[in-house]
Structure 1
Amino acid sequence: MRIFTCLFAFLMVMQHQAQDLKSPSEFLGYELGSQFTRHHEVVSYFKYVSEALPTQVQLQPYGYTNERRPLMFAVLSSPENMQNVEALRTAHLQSTEGGGDSQVAVVWLSYNVHGNESVSTEASMQTLYDLLTSKKAYLENTLVIIDPCINPDGRERYVNWYYQYKNTPYQVDANSKEHREGWWSGRSNHYMFDLNRDWAWLTQVESQQRLKQFNKWMPHIHVDFHEQGMNNPYYFAPAAEPYHEVITDFQREFQVKIGKNHARYFDQNGWFYFTREVFDLFYPSYGDTYPTYNGAIGMTYEQGGSGRAGLGVIVASGDTLTLKDRIAHHLTTGLSTVEVASQNAGTLNEEFRNFFKGDKDFKYKSYILNGDQDKQRALAELLDKHEINYGWAGESTVRGLNFGSGASASLKTNSRSMVVSTNQKKGTMVKVLFEPNAVLSDSLTYDITAWSLPYAYGLDALASEGLVKPNTSQAAPWSAISTGIEKGAFAHVGDWNSMKDARFLSDLVQNGIGVRRSERAFQLGGKTWDAGSLIITRGDNLRKPDFEQVLQSLVEKHQKPLTPARTGMVDSGKDFGSRYVGMIPETRVAVLSGEPTSTLRFGEVWHYFEQQLHYPITVLDAEYFDGVALGEYDVLVLPDGWGYRSFLNESRKGQLKDWVADGGRLIAMGRALAYLGGEDGFSIERKERESEDLEAETPPSFAETSRERIRGEITGAIFKTRVDPTHPMAFGYGDTYYTLKLGSDTYILPDGGTVAALGESPLPVAGFAGSKAVTNLSKSLVFAMENYGRGEVVYMADNPLFRGFWENGKLFFANAIFMAE
């Protein structure tokens, strides 16, 4: 009786605490939706709730952004569940091994991955409150995880901007400044990356820290809350085609179940919505697809509004869309999702176990990867973050599909051959990330259609239909690297094959160590060194008394093996004093930002230098570009963008030509190329599309227009290119390179200086390319360099830095900085 009395008293206290819990409006001191809530206030509310209801809410900090804002999520459920939350989590994770008997559903709600899609963070606070009060019955068999803001840096950028420019009271006219963000909108994170496209690639600190927590929970359902154009109604599941073929029938059907429940509430309120359009489930790096490929029901919810809507705006229908409206819609779908999870907790657990049970019926069971150890190591680091297992082969011969030839072939393996198998917990993710060419059920997609990691990392790969069991106990080949240097040696020589080598060189240069690079291959001490090899001589560093100590520390820091040379005379090739063995200068780099450029493309360059190459850059904004003395810089990068037609006028072209002629190096990317040519420009020339026979085909109907348009587009497909490995911009590469082509713009090959180009009548090795688009690709430029006066212009028609994940393209960019003399 005493136990029952204590329990009753405990429950009464909990009920009283829940009744006394302040709503977001009460806590913040203003009605939710009447203002935008700043990030620190959101954090304060979540802390308040966790302290007011400690038996039901746990607040989990999981890191910081680049701008030092806290990242966190709340775990909430019934008091009984939270008392055993760690046991429930452990039991749930056993399901990923095909076992366990958990009956509690795990739902993860992620808000504000795009900073200026700001309503979702507001909705997260009300969702938290309602789940603990009016909807607490849902929590009896459900654990809910709420991440109120995935992208605090971007959201604060938007909120700060809005408060700077909003009218008082707010103006509903969409032409007012408060509805027109500038070039750097709040959508992206600090480095201007789209965090909703980074789940698989993990280039950003927010993604890296979040995935550690995701892997600890592996939810049954994950929702990514978004906003779209302000004139659009609400979007929710089920998603549009294409669905990736690995998505199970249950995952498809449960999306429909959830969508129907949402529709019930929206119908009651007379709210408009749409499903099965635009937002597909294919590209693996989204907040809906990545969880889906890890067994969850992954969904995107899109509210109309985004950065244009502010606190209220008149939309095309003539109605006024307010922040309060937007909150109500996201609140409804969030609560509806938890409701459906609670009603189907048993089914969710059973199907989740089924997802991870047994051998997957995938065509390819194993992927074997040979190649440069630095590239293998970079891939291994990514796999570790995803908790994907890998190991090493023995001496054997394996037959399968060769990624390079696209045909069946044999591959000899050894202890340095990396093996990644689908026979593991993350086997579905392995199939999606490694498959040679994903099957498209519909060519109308929302994103790129190819991403296969063997191509992205530049490794020789084979896909085997048989299971090759990896040796997971063997240490990685690079763990035995010797990193010592020989005191008093004439020189130390290192290879040049990867971004790891580029980071090492970056550190050498910044530490004042003189480095040479060989323009020709040479032999020394029985070993062949390729063009681009780094040569660090004692003679070039005589004025640096601590030269050997600094070199040793950098060798250890980068785990970079160097080979000592006791002489500067090589066995064959060019000696170390030859004019073909030139010094690598400390290069002063500037990057253009502002309206001509795309924020995403500028961000990729910015992130590349600061977080990957670790080399300083100066950012020059277009607003004051004309007043900058370009002679202070050795390299100027023009990132891809839409605004170069007006920016590259006759005056600025002349300024750039004079600077290049005086010894500058201009690196032009993407659409910048189109406006650098012409009579008053450089020699780059756009390739005109071949004329079409207008009478050859019946014009498409209005309904068929979008499918006709896609025939002239390339939606992120992989093409094999031929490379000139003797060109300084291609040092570290062989005679082929796989490029990720993101559009149909093409350029004519220059008379000299071609670095990488497509061959005659190329077809994609993976991904979709429209039939009209590929006809114009024949013998077109990928990378090239034009000599102009004493300087150079580097042309990059394709983007080797796209989203920071195309690892094998990044050395081209390093070559353009350090090697392209």
Structure 2
Amino acid sequence: MKLLVSFFALCICLSVSAQELKSPSEFLGHELGTQFTRHHRVIDYYKHLSESASEMVQLEYYGQTYESRPLALAYISSAENIKNLEKIRLEHLKNTDGDGSPTIAIVWMSYNVHGNESVGTEASMKTVYELLTEKTEYLKNTIVIVDPCVNPDGRERYVNWFYQFKNGPSTVDPNSKEHHEPWLNGRPNHYMFDLNRDWAWLTQVESQQRIKKYNKWLPHVHVDFHEQGVDNPYYFAPAAEPFHEVITDFQREFQTTVGKNHAKYFDANGWFYFTKEVFDLLYPSYGDTYPTYNGSIGMTYEQGGSGSAGLGVISSIGDTLTLKDRILHHHTTGLSTLEVASQNAIRLNEEFKKFYRPKDYKYKSYVLNGPNDKLNVLTQLLEAHEIKYGWANTKTSKGFNYSTGKNGQIKTSNHSLVIDTDQKKGTLVKVLFEPNTKLTDSLTYDITAWSLPYAYGLEAIASETKVNADLDSGNIMKTASNHYTNNAYAFIAEWNSFNDAQFLADLLKNDIKTRYAKVPFVLDGVSYDRGTLIITKADNKNTPDFLNTLSALATKHKQVLNSTDTGFVEDGKDFGSASVQPLKEMKVAILSGKPTSTLNFGEIWHFFEQQLNYPATILDSDYFKNIDLAQYDILILPDGNYKKFLNESRMTELKDWINEGGKLIALSGALKTLSKEDKFQLKAKQNETDSTTVIPVYDHNQRNQIKNEITGAIFKTKVDYTHPLAYGYGDSYFSLKLGGAAYNYLETGTVAYLDLDNTIPVSGFAGSDAQAKIGETLIFGVEKYGKGELVYLVDNPLFRGFWENGKLLFANALFMVN
């Protein structure tokens, strides 16, 4: 009798629980797909699920955005699996060591990494609810991890804008304002970074916090839900070529398995879709490739719509695409993915274990030399990815030399960083460090080169034999064991890394007067290079608490300061020479708004606020005509299209400001308009005419076009290291070139350049016609104009915040070019 009563009570409890669990429409108070749901209400719904179905749902907050919005993960599975969630996770991770015997499939689904691809978050709620009510059989052997919104700041920007400008009721006419986002659209995060290109580089707080959780789980399957143009049919796996060579046969095969299952449902509904086109698996910082290089089946799903779709819009062929349609399509592929994963849970575990078996990659070790500051920035990235590293205990290392492009050797010491491919994250190591990625197809969706030794400006060897290294030799960061006395004449600091620029920025902000050397010098038997910072007692005699402030800043930046009791050098120029110039605090302005690229503006904005930590004023193009530029020492023009913005009157104003001492720093596309101004030296290189006319085959048009393109390739440029723009660099700089734009050398002030011997990239793809065009062209340069300067940055040294070796150059443009 007691057993019967207990059973009856349990049934009542389960019934009540089921009744309390509300659908998204019931909870939100509107039918899903008739409105966009704001982020706080999405979080409320997931809280509701975790409370009403607590035995099957766990909600975890893993961080917050730059704008303080919460980032959350929902773990969904059977009651038994949720009860044993940590045990399942640990057993799963044993597979990476070849020890586990798990049977549960782990599927991670990421929604709305692009904020204005807003259907993802809506679809996530519908999918999770159906899992808990109608598809519970999938959960018996599957853990589902849902990130309902990877990019809350971007999504809220889009949703808020839509509510402000939508028609009442919303209109499907594509000409209406609600279908035309402004310059600052919802796609990127707060700093206008594309979070779907930040998985490997981890420059943004959303990525940094997410990767900690991702590495705790390393799921079998990761799906990234996206949207594309209104007229595009749905895209799902399998992906297009090129596939990176490390991708396993099983990873390819399973993509096809998943794609065929999706097709079954799409065919039954008569929905259009495509596969094996456009979206490849190469660039390592995507939400499909990064998981793939960590053993997952990484996939991107793309629904037509995006920021121009609103709640409904008429396509070019007259069909109406609604938010409800978009939700249903993502919902269908989401459940289809879980169905396939559940059916193949054992196979997924077996193949995941195989992925982590030792691999016989060509290069066994990567050995890197360079300033401690640069090495430490790299080790921070390695630690975030849980990549093991050590320090060499040999005197030399042989292998492929990144600098020369040939086999050779470098001297090594216990300050030489060593990363092996014989480790758990060995595949990711190969992908991030290999000198040149193998391309199976030159038509790619993103850049084709990213090798970290080039990006970080480090001397490197890729060795075909494992290099002996100590894994426990500790942190190599400089320690600031400085002694500050009133007897010191001056304090001297190096200038060879971005950390030194951060130190200088702090000195200037704290009113510590600082000089820099324009020529090398020797003092107290120590050699110093151009750009060396010199902080004299005499300059700071009126600075309150000078020594204590200097000491605190040096400790903060781990700077070693050499003190001296004289300004009389043994070789070079004395500290009172005109060759030792004072640095002044610069008032910087950055142009924002319609002529500029949102992404490049964001890179510059993020550089100042989150990296250099130096104040900059944002001037929007809408009111730029009302600004007195005389208030600013520097104006930065990000990449963009300035044809209309820099009209005749504005160009005259700009030239007058430069002539009176202003410094203009122009990047990438901004140079196109400046090069057409007769008074400036900068001129675009003209294509040489070819007397041979070839009629292209229509079907090969895209292939012919790519001959003129450079798809993110790395070139070794020559450098005039005596120029202030190049202080801290040697005679070469590896530049990431993102296109075929080419400009002639300047008459004076050509700093980094390509000659006729350096037109073939050291890594990545460049079309044959593009290579022919870029010989004898400018990469970085400075033109004197009256009392001021124009700094030309043809290539973007701040690209996606990960090209570390370009950051010191940008700091030089700010402080050293004077």
Normalization by structure 1: what TM-score?
0.98
> Is 1:747–2:743 an aligned residue pair?
yes
> Is 1:793–2:790 an aligned residue pair?
yes
Aligned match of 2:469: 470
Post-superposition offset of 1:117: 0.2
Distance in 1 (CA, whole Å) between partners of 2:7 and 2:649 is 81
CA contact (8 A) 2:394 2:468 kept: no
Aligned match of 1:447: 446
- Structure 1 range deviating more: 393-402 or 339-348: 393-402
Post-superposition offset of 1:470: 2.3
Aligned match of 2:23: 23
Distance in 2 (CA, whole Å) between partners of 1:487 and 1:238 is 69
CA contact (8 A) 1:653 1:680 kept: no
Distance in 2 (CA, whole Å) between partners of 1:8 and 1:452 is 64
Aligned match of 2:152: 152
Post-superposition offset of 1:19: 4.7
Equivalent position to 1:813, from 802, 810, 813? 810
Distance in 2 (CA, whole Å) between partners of 1:316 and 1:704 is 26
Equivalent position to 2:697, from 695, 698, 701? 701
Aligned match of 1:655: 653
> Is 1:85–2:85 an aligned residue pair?
yes
Note closer, same or farther for the CA distance 1:428–1:486 as it changes in structure 2 (3 Å cut).
farther
CA contact (8 A) 2:27 2:45 kept: yes
CA contact (8 A) 1:483 1:559 kept: no
Note closer, same or farther for the CA distance 1:342–1:655 as it changes in structure 2 (3 Å cut).
same
SS of 1:548's equivalent?
helix
SS of 1:647's equivalent?
coil
Residues 415-457 of structure 1: per-residue CA shift (max 9 Å, x gap):
1110000111100000000000000000000000000000000
Residues 125-152 of structure 1: per-residue CA shift (max 9 Å, x gap):
1111011111111000000000000000
Distance in 2 (CA, whole Å) between partners of 1:744 and 1:583 is 38
Post-superposition offset of 1:361: 2.0
Percent of aligned pairs sharing the same letter = 60
Post-superposition offset of 1:3: 8.5
Query: What does residue range 294-305 of structure 1 map to in structure 2 within 5 Å?
Result: 294-305=294-305
- Structure 1 range deviating more: 477-486 or 55-64: 477-486
Note closer, same or farther for the CA distance 1:279–1:679 as it changes in structure 2 (3 Å cut).
closer
CA contact (8 A) 2:596 2:639 kept: yes
SS of 2:469's equivalent?
coil
Residues 389-416 of structure 1: per-residue CA shift (max 9 Å, x gap):
1000113322110011111112222111
Residues 768-788 of structure 1: per-residue CA shift (max 9 Å, x gap):
000000001111000000001
- Structure 1 range deviating more: 681-690 or 472-481: 472-481
Post-superposition offset of 1:382: 0.8
Post-superposition offset of 1:207: 0.4
CA contact (8 A) 2:218 2:296 kept: yes
Note closer, same or farther for the CA distance 1:510–1:3 as it changes in structure 2 (3 Å cut).
farther
Residues 34-70 of structure 1: per-residue CA shift (max 9 Å, x gap):
0000000000000011011111111010111011100
Aligned match of 1:669: 667
Residues 555-581 of structure 1: per-residue CA shift (max 9 Å, x gap):
111111110011111111011111111
Residues 197-238 of structure 1: per-residue CA shift (max 9 Å, x gap):
000000000000000110011100000000000000100000
Distance in 1 (CA, whole Å) between partners of 2:479 and 2:752 is 35
Aligned match of 1:360: 359
Distance in 2 (CA, whole Å) between partners of 1:65 and 1:199 is 16
Post-superposition offset of 1:681: 4.2
Aligned match of 2:260: 260
CA contact (8 A) 1:484 1:555 kept: no
Note closer, same or farther for the CA distance 1:395–1:3 as it changes in structure 2 (3 Å cut).
farther
Post-superposition offset of 1:703: 1.2
CA contact (8 A) 2:142 2:341 kept: yes
Structure 1 unaligned regions, length at least 5: none
Q: Runs of 4 or more off by more than 6 Å in structure 1?
A: 1-5
The one-letter code matched in structure 1 to 2:306 is: S
> Is 1:512–2:508 an aligned residue pair?
no
SS of 2:530's equivalent?
coil
The one-letter code matched in structure 2 to 1:510 is: K
CA contact (8 A) 1:254 1:297 kept: yes
Aligned match of 1:72: 72
SS of 1:122's equivalent?
helix
Aligned match of 2:53: 53
SS of 1:555's equivalent?
helix
Equivalent position to 2:719, from 714, 717, 723? 723
Give the paired residue count. Answer: 817
Post-superposition offset of 1:20: 3.6
CA contact (8 A) 2:479 2:560 kept: no
Post-superposition offset of 1:692: 2.5
SS of 1:377's equivalent?
helix
Equivalent position to 2:685, from 677, 681, 687? 687
Structure 2 unaligned regions, length at least 5: none
Distance in 2 (CA, whole Å) between partners of 1:665 and 1:237 is 49
Distance in 2 (CA, whole Å) between partners of 1:120 and 1:527 is 60
Distance in 2 (CA, whole Å) between partners of 1:178 and 1:601 is 25
Distance in 2 (CA, whole Å) between partners of 1:562 and 1:180 is 54
CA contact (8 A) 2:390 2:471 kept: yes
Distance in 1 (CA, whole Å) between partners of 2:274 and 2:712 is 27
Distance in 1 (CA, whole Å) between partners of 2:527 and 2:514 is 19
CA contact (8 A) 2:98 2:353 kept: yes
Post-superposition offset of 1:14: 3.8
SS of 1:748's equivalent?
coil
Aligned match of 1:560: 559
Post-superposition offset of 1:482: 2.6
Distance in 1 (CA, whole Å) between partners of 2:3 and 2:531 is 77
The one-letter code matched in structure 2 to 1:665 is: K
Distance in 1 (CA, whole Å) between partners of 2:814 and 2:703 is 41
CA contact (8 A) 1:481 1:559 kept: yes
Note closer, same or farther for the CA distance 1:246–1:487 as it changes in structure 2 (3 Å cut).
farther
Post-superposition offset of 1:17: 1.8
Note closer, same or farther for the CA distance 1:318–1:531 as it changes in structure 2 (3 Å cut).
same
Distance in 1 (CA, whole Å) between partners of 2:754 and 2:809 is 16
CA contact (8 A) 1:18 1:132 kept: no
Distance in 2 (CA, whole Å) between partners of 1:230 and 1:195 is 22
Distance in 2 (CA, whole Å) between partners of 1:14 and 1:632 is 69
Note closer, same or farther for the CA distance 1:778–1:343 as it changes in structure 2 (3 Å cut).
same
Residues 652-700 of structure 1: per-residue CA shift (max 9 Å, x gap):
11111100010000001111111113354422100112222343x3x22
The one-letter code matched in structure 2 to 1:818 is: F
SS of 1:720's equivalent?
strand
CA contact (8 A) 1:654 1:681 kept: no
CA contact (8 A) 2:478 2:560 kept: no
Distance in 1 (CA, whole Å) between partners of 2:151 and 2:605 is 18
SS of 1:66's equivalent?
coil
SS of 1:540's equivalent?
coil
The one-letter code matched in structure 2 to 1:811 is: L
Note closer, same or farther for the CA distance 1:133–1:817 as it changes in structure 2 (3 Å cut).
same
Distance in 2 (CA, whole Å) between partners of 1:425 and 1:87 is 21
